[in-house]
Amino acid sequence: MISRPDTAFSVSVLSQFIQNPGRIHWEALQCVIVYLNSTKDLWLTFGGRTTSLEGYCDADWAGQKDRHSISGYSFHLGQGAVTWSSKKQYIIALSSTEAEYIAQTHAAKEALWLRTFWAEMQNAEPMTMTINCDNQGAIALSKDNKFHTRTKHINIRYHFIREAVKDGKLAVVYIPTEDNAADIFTKALPKTKFRQFVKLLGLRVIRGSPDRGGNESAGA
C-alpha cells in the first residue's frame, strides 16, 4: 500500500497465496478491507521537531509455517514514515540473532540510498544514518566478527553492513521492542500495540482534511 504502511505485513503475507488462494485467505483479505474502510480517515503525515532521517528494523524469527523469517523496516523523516518494507527472508535463519542481522542488512541497503538522496536534497555532505534495532546480538554482529564460529555459515552478502558501520555511514543502536516501529511489519500484533505503532508511523486523522466524498472532514 502506497500510503498505508499499517497494512504492509498483511498484504505481504496474503500476496504469497495469489496463485492458489483458499477460503482462509479470502476471509483474511476481507478483514484487511474492513480495517481499511474503518480507518479511511487516517492520513500519512509528517512533522515533529526534527527533520532528521532515522530507521527502524526488526525480524520475526521462524514465525511462518515454512520457517522463513520476516524482515521489516521503516525510515522516518521527523515523525512520519517515508519508506517501509515487510519481506520474507530468502534463507531459513538458525537463530533470532541471525534473523535480525539479515533484517539489518535489508534495512541498510535502503539506508545507504536514503543517506545519499537526503544529502543531495540538502546540498550537504552525507551524515551517519541511525538504524534502531531491538536485538543486542545482531547489533554486535554489525560492528565486528567476534562471533565468527557461530556466524560463518551466513551468506557473505549479508555482512556488507559491517563495512558501512566501520566507514561511519551507518550506526546501529539499540531500542526497546516496545518502541521499535518496525515490529508492525513482521507479525500480527495485539490491538493496543498495533495502534501504538500506527501512530509512530505518522498515520493520524487530520482536522479539516477532505474526506472521500470531497467534503471537509471535522476529524479528531
Residue 160 C-alpha cell reads as 556488507
Note the pLDDT tens digit of each residue in 16-55: 898 888 999 999 999 999 999 999 889 988 877 777 889 9
Note the pLDDT tens digit of each residue in 162-205: 889 999 999 999 999 999 999 999 999 999 999 999 999 999 88
pTM across the whole model: 0.84
Residue 65 C-alpha cell reads as 509455517
8 Å CB contact between 92 and 68:
yes
Which of 44, 138, 137, 37 has the alpha carbon at shortest distance from 83?
Answer: 44
Residue 83 C-alpha cell reads as 519508506
- Name all domains of the chain by residue range, CATH numbers in brackets: 48-202 (3.30.420.10)
DSSP class per residue in 116-133: HHHHHHHTSPPPPEEEEE
Amino acid at 195: R
Note the pLDDT tens digit of each residue in 61-94: 877 777 899 999 999 988 889 999 999 998 888 8
